[in-house]
Amino acid sequence: MINAYGDGLNILIIDDDEVDYHVTSRKLKQAFREDEASVAWIQDAKSIDYITQFSDFDICLIDQNLGAITGVDIIRDMHRSGCMVPMILLTGSMQGEFDQSITECGAVDFLLKDEITPTLLNRSIRFAVSQKKNEKKLVEMAYSDGLTGIANRKKFDEFMEANLCSSGRNHLSVGMLLIDLDDFKQVNDTYGHPAGDMLLQQVASRLKETVRETDLVARLGGDEFGIALTMMQDERDINIVLKKLNDAMAPPFQLGEHTLFCSASIGAVTHPLNQPASFQEMFRRADISLYGAKFKGKNTAQIYRGKTGKDNDLPKRLPSRIQNALANDEFQVFYQPKINTEDQSVCGAEALVRWFPKNAAPIMPNDFIPAAELSGDIVAIGGWVLDAVCAQIRDWKDGFNLSIPVAVNMSPIQIGREETIDLIQETLLKYRLSPDMLEIEITETASLLNSDLFARQLMKIHEIGCRITVDDFGIGYSSLLRFLDLPVSSLKIDQSFIAQINQSQKADAICKSIITLARNLNIPVTAEGVETSSQLAAIEDLECQYAQGFFIKEPVSAEHFMRWYANYRTSLSPHSSAYLN
Ligand code: C2E
Ligand code: MG
Ligand code: MG
């Protein structure tokens, strides 16, 4: 570990060549008075724990040629992790392509070793330091949360992405915690918003004090915080942090004259090096765990176990549990809105089933639907979902005078059964619903779309008057032209394409051609899995008619959906195409 010293400029040189270091150091001594600058040297670039060591310095001069690693690599890594120390690259030679990579990696300047003079060094360093100072001020504003002063969502996302990129290289894992305050709304309602703001500020500073300097605490919005944990050895590290956070939240908070306790629910996920996951996937996992923690009764943490965790044999135990689950009322339908991209109005919702087993963590559909399809229990689950959804549509109609069409996902196994047609008809009748309030989503699979039985069944559903949507389009085997023979009224582009939109030319081209071809066939398209404003803007540019995704709203319970919808409509008023009767 090297330390910066002195009151003047603390300059760090990274150069594996001792002679070169001495030459640069000598020129620095000529460039600055003794009290103006001090110099430290790192020879072995591989051994540097960059983030901690760089932060002590005002400027860093890095040699390009460092053996296994290049100066450009280090600068790029540091730049991506948000390091604000200006970095100047020292090179022995200059080649065309190399030139480009320097400007892109985030170096403030580059100097040819042979051309370095004390005057040039002095000017370049002073310029770099003052330029970085201004930049730092602007960045701090763009990357911090106005209320708490800690990092904001943008900073969190970029920090996580950068750390995921470098975790493979430094053989250390990365962890993510999503923290949601329990009953925060009650604090706001009971003590007022200024007290709520004070609570958020105090929580922010407690969280910050609990983790290491190399970790990042951010406010992601409302009462939700995120912590990015860097340089983790294994899952034990996350347990240590969770224990510390629990201790940190335990003492009461003093909000003016009020003293109150506030607990938090935490979803945690690690990024094992042998199972890399994207940032979005980690976020999704952490979110699932947070959800599980809330479900377990708040004031608790849950670590994501995934498919390889200790619950590996869950699918084997599922069938017998599923049968009990229906009897014990453990399923619930969540609703996710779908909006019209032209005027942002809500034009419907998708029903997504959730399983909340008693005394156990919630199970997501991807983790039990395949098992239920194998065991045949999907038919009972599907029937239950259909009934629950139709009852809900009726409730919304009776209670709020609202007609919100809902799409139900239906397994091919269920579609293939003759009885399903009667079931749909009977359920619509039972709740006195017109068939256009119910949409059926089928997944695009070869067997489904190419078999005559399915074609006949789909035709019968169509004759009842329900719309049919092909889900997850683009990853299966079917061709859009097949739709000409099927009564399909719309399709949903698979979310894997939307996730890559603006990032992969291939994904852009696929989305564009699906939307264009569908438009020519008069089939409206929904983009699902829209997670960012830029994804929404991109699909709007492509004139994709409908959008659905976390950016608009995640799937939520029926009550939550109605609360969200009421606010959303007010903010959007006067249009809303979920028609009022
Ligand atoms: P799906 O029909 O394609 O549903 C979309 C999935 O994407 C849902 O996952 C939803 O929560 C998730 N999602 C929505 N917005 C976003 C986003 O912005 N980003 C990301 N990453 N994901 C988003 P969920 O609820 O876990 O459902 C998974 C799949 O399980 C569904 O995929 C559907 O095929 C199946 N499924 C769900 N409910 C039912 C059901 O009642 N019956 C049947 N047969 N299948 C169901
Ligand atoms: Mg679906
Ligand atoms: Mg889908």
Query: What number is the average pLDDT over the span 471-494?
Result: 79
pLDDT at 377 over 70: yes
Which DSSP symbol is given to 252?
A: P
Which DSSP symbol is given to 12?
A: E
- Residues 335 and 534: their CA atoms lie apart, in Å, by 24
Q: Give the SS3 label for residue 364.
A: coil
Out of 250-264, 288-302, 448-462, give the one with best mean pLDDT.
250-264
Q: Is the CB of 384 under 6 A from ligand 1?
A: no
| pLDDT tens by residue, 74-116 | 888 888 877 888 999 998 876 655 667 777 888 888 899 889 9
Ion ligand 3 neighbours (CB, 5 A) are 471-472
Rounded to 10 deg, the angle between the 378-400 and 418-430 helix axes is 20
- Give the rounded distance of the alpha carbon of 445 from its chain centre: 28
Burial of 451 (0-12, 13-18, 19+ CB in 10 A): middle
Looking at the CA of 494, which ligand is closest?
A: 3
What stretch of H or E contains 231?
strand 224-232
pLDDT of residue 209: 95
- Residues 59 and 201: their CA atoms lie apart, in Å, by 32
Residue 8 pLDDT level (bands cut at 50, 70, 90): confident
Out of 123-127, 261-265, 310-314, 447-451, give the one with best mean pLDDT.
123-127
- In the reported structure, the alpha carbon of residue 443 is separated from the centroid of ligand 2 by a whole-number distance in angstroms of 8
Q: Is the CB of 292 under 6 A from ligand 1?
A: no
Tokens for 225, please give them.
Answer: 């915080």
- In the reported structure, the alpha carbon of residue 304 is separated from the centroid of ligand 2 by a whole-number distance in angstroms of 24
Q: Is the CB of 529 under 6 A from ligand 1?
A: yes
Question: Which residue is listed with tokens 């300059």?
Answer: 11
Q: Could you tell me if 511 and 498 are in contact, meaning their C-beta atoms sit under 8 angstroms apart?
A: yes
pLDDT of residue 137: 83
- Residues 378 and 365: their CA atoms lie apart, in Å, by 11
Q: Which overall architecture, per CATH, does domain 314-580 show?
A: Alpha-Beta Barrel (3.20)
Looking at the CA of 352, which ligand is closest?
A: 1
pLDDT at 477 over 80: no
- In the reported structure, the alpha carbon of residue 366 is separated from the centroid of ligand 1 by a whole-number distance in angstroms of 8
Q: Could you tell me if 74 and 45 are in contact, meaning their C-beta atoms sit under 8 angstroms apart?
A: yes
Ion ligand 2 neighbours (CB, 5 A) are 409, 441, 471
Higher pLDDT pick, 196 / 304:
196
- Residues 345 and 407: their CA atoms lie apart, in Å, by 17
- In the reported structure, the alpha carbon of residue 427 is separated from the centroid of ligand 2 by a whole-number distance in angstroms of 20
Q: Which overall architecture, per CATH, does domain 9-143 show?
A: 3-Layer(aba) Sandwich (3.40)
Q: Hey, which bits of 416-502 come out as E strands? A: 438-443, 467-473, 490-493
| pLDDT tens by residue, 495-550 | 999 999 999 888 899 899 999 988 988 899 999 999 999 999 999 999 999 999 99
pLDDT at 49 over 70: no
Range 164-168 contact pairs with CB under 8 angstroms and sequence separation of 24 or more: 164/271, 164/276, 164/278, 164/279, 164/282, 165/77, 165/80, 166/77, 166/80, 166/81, 167/271, 167/273, 168/273, 168/276
pLDDT of residue 331: 95
Q: Could you tell me if 318 and 368 are in contact, meaning their C-beta atoms sit under 8 angstroms apart?
A: yes
Q: Is the CB of 527 under 6 A from ligand 1?
A: no
Residue 244 pLDDT level (bands cut at 50, 70, 90): very high
Query: What number is the average pLDDT over the span 409-417?
Result: 88
Rounded to 10 deg, the angle between the 378-400 and 365-375 helix axes is 130
- Residues 466 and 228: their CA atoms lie apart, in Å, by 46
Out of 7-21, 39-53, 502-516, 537-551, give the one with best mean pLDDT.
537-551
pLDDT of residue 305: 74
- Residues 299 and 290: their CA atoms lie apart, in Å, by 11
pLDDT of residue 102: 75
pLDDT of residue 337: 97
Tell me phi and psi for residue 530, to 5 degrees. Answer: -75, 115
Closest by CA position to 572, among listed 334, 336, 347, 399: 347
Q: What is the pTM of this model?
A: 0.53
Q: What is the share, in percent, of the chain residues with pLDDT greater than 90?
A: 51
pLDDT of residue 575: 45
Looking at the CA of 549, which ligand is closest?
A: 1
Between 205-209, 343-347, 472-476, 484-488, the lowest mean confidence (pLDDT) is in: 472-476
Neighbouring CB atoms inside 10 A of 168's CB total 12
> How, if at all, do strands 331-340 and 346-355 pair?
antiparallel
Tokens for 8, please give them.
Answer: 């003047």
Domain ranges of the chain: 9-143, 153-303, 314-580
The domain covering 153-303 belongs, at the CATH homologous superfamily level, to Reverse transcriptase/Diguanylate cyclase domain (3.30.70.270)
Residue 448 pLDDT level (bands cut at 50, 70, 90): low
Task: Please state the atom number of ligand 1 nearest to the C-alpha of residue 443.
Answer: 34
pLDDT of residue 578: 46
pLDDT of residue 96: 57
Residue 2 pLDDT level (bands cut at 50, 70, 90): very low
221 conformational bin, left if phi > 0, alpha if psi -120 to 50, beta if neither: left
Q: Could you tell me if 459 and 490 are in contact, meaning their C-beta atoms sit under 8 angstroms apart?
A: no
| pLDDT tens by residue, 423-437 | 999 999 999 999 999
Going by alpha carbons, the residue nearest to atom 38 of ligand 1 is: 352
- Residues 495 and 474: their CA atoms lie apart, in Å, by 9
Question: Which residue is listed with tokens 């892109």?
Answer: 104
Residue 449 pLDDT level (bands cut at 50, 70, 90): low
Q: Is the CB of 469 under 6 A from ligand 1?
A: no
Q: Could you tell me if 353 and 362 are in contact, meaning their C-beta atoms sit under 8 angstroms apart?
A: no
Query: What number is the average pLDDT over the span 49-59?
Result: 74
pLDDT at 384 over 60: yes
Task: Please state the atom number of ligand 1 nearest to the C-alpha of residue 471.
Answer: 3
- In the reported structure, the alpha carbon of residue 460 is separated from the centroid of ligand 3 by a whole-number distance in angstroms of 23
Going by alpha carbons, the residue nearest to atom 10 of ligand 1 is: 555
pLDDT at 417 over 70: yes
Residues constituting the chain: 581
Maximum Cα–Cα distance across the chain = 91
Out of 232-241, 439-448, 569-578, give the one with best mean pLDDT.
232-241
Q: Give the SS3 label for residue 417.
A: coil
| pLDDT tens by residue, 265-318 | 999 998 866 566 788 888 988 888 887 677 555 678 888 876 444 443 454 456
Q: What is the share, in percent, of the chain residues with pLDDT greater than 70?
A: 87
Query: What number is the average pLDDT over the span 375-386?
Result: 91
Higher pLDDT pick, 448 / 177:
177
Tell me phi and psi for residue 111, to 5 degrees. Answer: -130, 135
Between 160-169, 226-235, 401-410, the lowest mean confidence (pLDDT) is in: 160-169
- Residues 30 and 23: their CA atoms lie apart, in Å, by 11
pLDDT of residue 569: 80
Q: Could you tell me if 394 and 433 are in contact, meaning their C-beta atoms sit under 8 angstroms apart?
A: yes
Task: Please state the atom number of ligand 1 nearest to the C-alpha of residue 411.
Answer: 44
Q: Is the CB of 196 under 6 A from ligand 1?
A: no
pLDDT of residue 46: 72
∠ CA 84-281-307, nearest 5°, is 135
pLDDT of residue 148: 96
Looking at the CA of 384, which ligand is closest?
A: 1
Q: Could you tell me if 312 and 521 are in contact, meaning their C-beta atoms sit under 8 angstroms apart?
A: no
Closest by CA position to 280, among listed 77, 531, 79: 531
Going by alpha carbons, the residue nearest to atom 33 of ligand 1 is: 409
CA distances 353 to 290, 330, 334, 377, Å, are 18, 10, 6, 14
Query: What number is the average pLDDT over the span 118-132?
Result: 92
Residue from 475, 528, 548 to probe ligand 1 pocket by mutation (most atoms less than 8 Å from CB)? 528
| pLDDT tens by residue, 354-368 | 999 887 788 899 888
- In the reported structure, the alpha carbon of residue 566 is separated from the centroid of ligand 3 by a whole-number distance in angstroms of 26
Task: Please state the atom number of ligand 1 nearest to the C-alpha of residue 365.
Answer: 30
